[in-house]
């Protein structure tokens, strides 16, 4: 493959795969931001309650993401070989694991909501509101798990439009139902945080239905018969777990670190956690394209590795390593003025708004490093089955630097919330240097399907 044709294929594949994924993430993040704005209009306690309640879903989501992207290492390489049986058994195994975990989370959230939320906050009003939200939203977990597993499998075989359509339909319904049920529009009762939970359950049911029914109606590669989905013989399960387990550990440990950050800010005070939730919403919205490009990198590089074209895979990985932080810098520059419009979106009081504005400026400064690190783990390392390094990369960053610095900043130095946020993000700088070394070593380039 010539340099010119390689370059043209790179950008064509990047746009074709990344843009629908980015649009899906944008819609999801946009609706999540709308949810935050709507709930924020009920009050600071309501915003904190829903934010903490969603941390349970965040933990589960990251576990399912770990399972699905661990399977995606195989899926993209099997797709390069056009091995449909391999794709379907990967989908079936990740679906089984994801549904099992979601049922455990659902039962725990419905029976012990206050005990779970008590790990994050001692505020009695936040606990009461959060428990009400968590009990109602928990039945959506298995639905969301099933749709997410299929969506990631479809991305791995370059079928990215169906998940986009499903998300668009479901989240449009979610936005409408939020307005109707939270505020009692069109004659419906005003349900507050309970209305937000009900809207989430309905929208996740719609997303699961459109994704799975659509996948089978269109006869996509992951849509196999039950026997094909459960064909785990020939030593496949141990091989799958050897690659996927570090990804699952990575996502669970990283997500627990993020929830620990939430617990730190919640213990500092309700205003601090409200400011952090606003910043997290802005960050999620800013990351949508980069989540798309990182997932596109995993598919593009994995497919080339499966085809045996390692030189193109390495050349494209280097291109992602240059392109991603460059675009991250541009996004960081766009983020800085966002702090000025927060008062128009989140009526949560002057002090949490001041803290949130300063946090957004800090986020803008770290953004190029966050984007680069995302592409190292999700795009480059996982495409070649280098999941153990990816796990070390993230876990050491969060638990070796981020969490200790957050505790020192909040409870030893008693810094302001935005300064604690700046301190915990130092991990992104350290990880970036480690990521450059791993990329250049080529140790991430492996064919896991052989």
Angle between helices 270-286 and 288-306 (to 10 degrees): 50
Query: Using an 8 Å Cβ cutoff, are 71 and 93 in contact?
Result: yes
Residue 435 has pLDDT above 90, yes or no: yes
The arithmetic mean of pLDDT across residues 58-74, rounded, is 83
Residue 434 has pLDDT above 70, yes or no: yes
Rounded CA-CA distance 389/370 in Å is: 17
Residue-level pLDDT at 4: 46
CA 94, 96, 97, 99: dihedral to nearest 10 degrees?
110
Residue-level pLDDT at 338: 83
The arithmetic mean of pLDDT across residues 219-231, rounded, is 91
CA torsion sign, 228 to 230 to 234 to 240?
positive
Residue 99 has pLDDT above 70, yes or no: yes
Residue-level pLDDT at 52: 78
Residue 34 has pLDDT above 70, yes or no: no
Residue-level pLDDT at 1: 46
Residue-level pLDDT at 8: 61
Residue-level pLDDT at 303: 87
Residue 24 has pLDDT above 70, yes or no: yes
- Residue 9: count other Cβ atoms within 10 Å of its Cβ: 15
CA–CA–CA angle 47, 282, 208 (5° rounding): 75
CA nearest 399: which of 272, 262, 256? 256
pLDDT digits (tens, 9 = 90+) for 103-122: 999 999 999 988 888 877 77
Residue 223 has pLDDT above 50, yes or no: yes
Token readout for 158 is 């370059």
pTM assigned to the model = 0.76
The arithmetic mean of pLDDT across residues 169-180, rounded, is 87
Residue 2 has pLDDT above 50, yes or no: no
Rounded CA-CA distance 87/91 in Å is: 6
Listed range (165-169, 269-273, 314-318) with the worst mean pLDDT: 269-273
Residue 414: burial class (beta carbons within 10 Å; 0-12, 13-18, 19+): exposed
The arithmetic mean of pLDDT across residues 25-47, rounded, is 70
Residue-level pLDDT at 120: 76
Query: Using an 8 Å Cβ cutoff, are 63 and 255 in contact?
Result: yes
Rounded CA-CA distance 42/190 in Å is: 11
Residue 169 has pLDDT above 80, yes or no: yes
């Amino acid at each position: 493959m010539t340099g010119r044709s390689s370059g043209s294929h790179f950008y064509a594949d990047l746009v074709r795969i990344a843009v629908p994924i980015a649009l899906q993430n944008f819609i999801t993040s946009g609706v999540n931001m709308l949810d935050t704005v709507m709930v924020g209009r009920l009050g600071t306690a309501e915003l904190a309650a829903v934010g903490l309640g969603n941390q349970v879903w965040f933990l589960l989501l990251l576990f399912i993401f770990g399972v699905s992207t661990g399977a995606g290492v195989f899926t993209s390489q099997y797709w390069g070989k056009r091995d449909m049986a391999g794709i379907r058994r990967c989908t079936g195994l990740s679906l089984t694991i994801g549904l099992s975990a979601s049922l455990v989370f659902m039962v725990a959230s419905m029976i012990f909501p206050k005990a779970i939320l008590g790990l994050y906050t001692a505020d009695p009003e936040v606990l009461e509101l959060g428990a009400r939200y968590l009990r109602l939203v928990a039945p959506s977990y298995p639905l969301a798990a099933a749709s997410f597993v299929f969506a990631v499998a479809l991305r791995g075989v370059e079928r990215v439009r169906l998940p986009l359509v499903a998300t668009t339909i479901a989240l449009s319904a979610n936005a409408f139902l939020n307005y109707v049920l939270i505020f009692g529009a069109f004659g419906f009762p005003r349900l507050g945080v309970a209305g937000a939970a009900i809207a989430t359950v309905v929208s996740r049911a719609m997303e699961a239905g459109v994704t799975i029914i659509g996948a089978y109606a269109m006869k996509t590669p992951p849509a196999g018969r039950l026997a094909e989905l459960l064909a785990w013989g020939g030593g496949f399960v141990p091989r799958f777990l050897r690659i996927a387990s570090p990804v699952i550990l990575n996502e669970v440990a990283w997500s627990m670190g993020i929830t620990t950050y939430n617990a730190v800010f919640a213990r500092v005070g309700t205003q601090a956690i409200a400011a952090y939730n606003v910043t997290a919403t802005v960050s999620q919205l800013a990351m949508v394209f980069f989540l798309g490009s990182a997932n596109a990198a995993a598919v593009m590089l994995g497919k080339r590795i499966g085809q045996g074209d390692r030189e193109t895979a390495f050349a494209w990985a280097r291109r992602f390593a240059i392109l991603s932080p460059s675009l991250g810098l541009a996004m960081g520059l766009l983020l800085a003025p966002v702090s000025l419009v927060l008062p128009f979106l989140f009526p949560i009081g002057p002090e949490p708004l001041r803290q949130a504005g300063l946090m957004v400026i800090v986020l803008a400064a770290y953004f190029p490093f966050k984007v680069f690190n995302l592409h190292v783990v999700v795009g480059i390392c996982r495409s070649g089955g280098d999941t153990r390094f990816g796990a070390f990369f993230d876990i050491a960053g969060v638990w070796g630097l981020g969490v200790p610095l957050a505790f020192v900043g909040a409870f030893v130095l008693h810094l302001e919330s935005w300064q604690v946020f700046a301190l915990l993000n130092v991990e992104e700088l350290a990880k970036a240097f480690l990521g450059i070394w791993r990329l250049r070593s080529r140790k991430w380039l492996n064919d896991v399907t052989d």
